[in-house]
A and B are shown apart, each in its own frame.
Chain A
């Protein structure tokens, strides 16, 4: 595409680093106010909202914001977790601890349970990430949820960059990018037809640097694997994967023990670690600022399939 829009670097060299400065308090405050406004609107405009909670940093920040948005009232919605059965045990422990601490309702949709009961069969490649969508849609239907909060950010992916804050999904959870409602001013339209539901993304305008800056500033609790720890890992397709019941390592892939941390937290089969010495969230923020590679590029195998992998999955109901 773009016949006449190529850039000749001979003419002018381009630099190739990433963003380099942590977010200022005033910027974070603006983003926080915007997110709180969105969360409150979504709750007011829906019958039965729920927060999709993976235990990852974005959902942890989202939960923190939601608790602040409704204080001193109790959080007016529960959490939903789609557990592939290949999640990090540290993340599940963190999830349960947070639920306990704040007295929250937690619904778990378990891929393992579905496989054990024969509702779902294991894919030949052993990957469970693609199966999440089916469980998510089932949980939405059985739970009667009409609005789902997600921690997705527009800076993560080119398809996400196009999605609305209030994203209307069809009964199959599908996203149709050409039929999106225009979103103007601060007016979020949450009206739905029966069987439609809403995905709501309060962190749409946040970047990875904003999330880490916010975590540092507000001391948001996170699973310990976001900080450096010694772990046995092996290399596959340039990523550092952790061994586990999900299937790795294969013959020929050797385990080594390294100091690593995770930049994103998802299914163990497609979430890679990065080598790191970051002992505190401040250290992580510093490393994030120095990183030359985007977080999904560095650590998510599922986005490497094609240039529009995320759009394709969203059309099929993925977050």
Chain B
């Protein structure tokens, strides 16, 4: 969700990912305990009442099935803070069949930590997680090379895996990647610098997380305010349009375009949850009053200039997130911003193999955890922008019109007028 605009303090949204048994839950437990974020009773409940042996995974794997099977099934959210910053952590599952939860956990974070085991080469699941981070455009990627204690903190073993990681992320086009040798079990380079890795001169994991700028991408760009509802007081006839500002800012006098009506107006007044303010900032829930008496309702977008182009046909990469199979020609609902439009899955062009990051021609049916390039037609025009430009106006859900369930999560390419399949494919280099 939204972050404080481009600051290093404030709130950082973070996801963790990695293969099963790479020690992810242990790392999360270590971060929580070493940042003093675990209460005494929660610590004691981990089983090691004498403080000698505790099972860190029990801090996050809370569901009965998870505790019974010793695995993480669903995203768990954890909260911790240090003297420098507050963290919201989405701990995502490692198993392939729970990829949909991993994608969900990464959808709007500032950073992702992918765990890899120094004793193995870069596994498929880690490649998939790095590819998902690339696809979802997570701004900062950290690869934690774990279990360094198991190889006596050997520099060569680390270097070999690091080079493999960097080769993969370079192919994926991940710009900001940091690789850190650590031991979640022993605590080396998690919160405190390890004396056992004198050859490593980079930051510890927590230090790096404390210094990452949050929300810088969200702050840039023209204003985008999906209208959630219209508010009006008993004494005050003027209407306020309420919503959460995605990108940009809005201040009195700013010129805006209302979509899809394409009506022009200017901002007259700005309030933040009832309090008058000079300007609306990215991520804020606000109410806007316009200078003209125009028709605005839920589902509309109040846009700064340049405004998005309206389209009824677009291509996108979609991640299937339910067991429901999607077929070409299938009717669906497109939930974009605050509007839900009727649509149809026009065609399925190719599926994406996250392990190799290669596109292969697809059949007419997709489902499960498939990721596919598709084109979608909608019954009404939507102000969809490319996901690479705006994670809010570029993202959407596909819903099943029958039962309302969420069947897929989509990231828009470009309007159908450009050859966006080629464009999408070009970003998906093999890894």
Spell out A's residues near B (CB within 8 Å): 1-12, 14-21, 23-24, 26-27, 29-34, 36-37, 40-41, 43-44, 65, 68-74, 154-155, 157-159, 161-162, 177-178, 180-187, 189, 191-193, 204-205, 207, 291-294, 297-298, 307-308, 311-312
Known: A7-B53, A17-B36, A178-B65. A72 touches B403 (CB 8 A): no
Cβ–Cβ < 8 Å partners of B64 in chain A: 308, 311-312
Q: Which residue of A lies closest to B78 (CB)?
A: A161
Known: A26-B4, A308-B62. A15 touches B81 (CB 8 A): no
* A70 close to B231 (CB less than 8 A): yes
B34 to chain A, nearest CB (A): 7
B284 to chain A, nearest CB (A): 5
Q: Which residue of B lies closest to A68 (CB)?
A: B273
Interface string of B62-76 (1 = CB under 8 A from A): 111111111001111
Known: A2-B58, A27-B11, A308-B62. A162 touches B242 (CB 8 A): no
* A7 close to B30 (CB less than 8 A): yes
* A16 close to B43 (CB less than 8 A): yes
Cβ–Cβ < 8 Å partners of B29 in chain A: 7
Q: Which residue of B lies closest to A157 (CB)?
A: B62
Partner of B63, one of A33, A65, A71, A159: A159
Q: Could you show 24 A-B contacts with beta carbons less than 8 Å apart?
A: A2-B61, A7-B29, A7-B53, A16-B51, A17-B40, A33-B2, A34-B1, A37-B243, A40-B229, A69-B242, A72-B231, A161-B78, A178-B65, A182-B103, A185-B409, A189-B406, A191-B405, A192-B404, A193-B403, A204-B77, A205-B88, A308-B63, A311-B64, A312-B64
The answer for the CA separation of A2 and B67 in the assembled complex, in Å, is 9
Cβ–Cβ < 8 Å partners of A177 in chain B: 63, 65, 73-74
Cβ–Cβ < 8 Å partners of B395 in chain A: 184-185, 187
Partner of B338, one of A16, A33, A44, A311: A44
Q: Quick check: which of B20-28, B200-208, B345-353, B357-365 contacts chain A, the rest being far away?
A: B20-28
Q: Counting chain A CB atoms within 10 Å of each CB, which of B39, B60, B233 scores highest?
A: B39
For chain B, residues 177 to 204, give those with C-beta under 8 angstroms from any C-beta of chain A.
Answer: 185-187
Query: CB of B269 within 8 A of chain A?
Result: no
Q: A178-B65, A186-B392, A191-B399 are in contact. List 12 more A-B contacts (CB 8 A).
A: A7-B29, A9-B48, A14-B33, A16-B43, A19-B80, A24-B9, A24-B10, A65-B273, A71-B274, A162-B74, A178-B73, A185-B392
Q: Which residue of B lies closest to A306 (CB)?
A: B64
Query: CB of B267 within 8 A of chain A?
Result: no
* A18 close to B37 (CB less than 8 A): yes
* A292 close to B39 (CB less than 8 A): yes
Known: A7-B54, A9-B54, A72-B240. A184 touches B397 (CB 8 A): yes
* B397 close to A187 (CB less than 8 A): yes
Query: CB of B256 within 8 A of chain A?
Result: no
For chain B, residues 377 to 407, give those with C-beta under 8 angstroms from any C-beta of chain A.
Answer: 391-392, 395-397, 399, 403-406
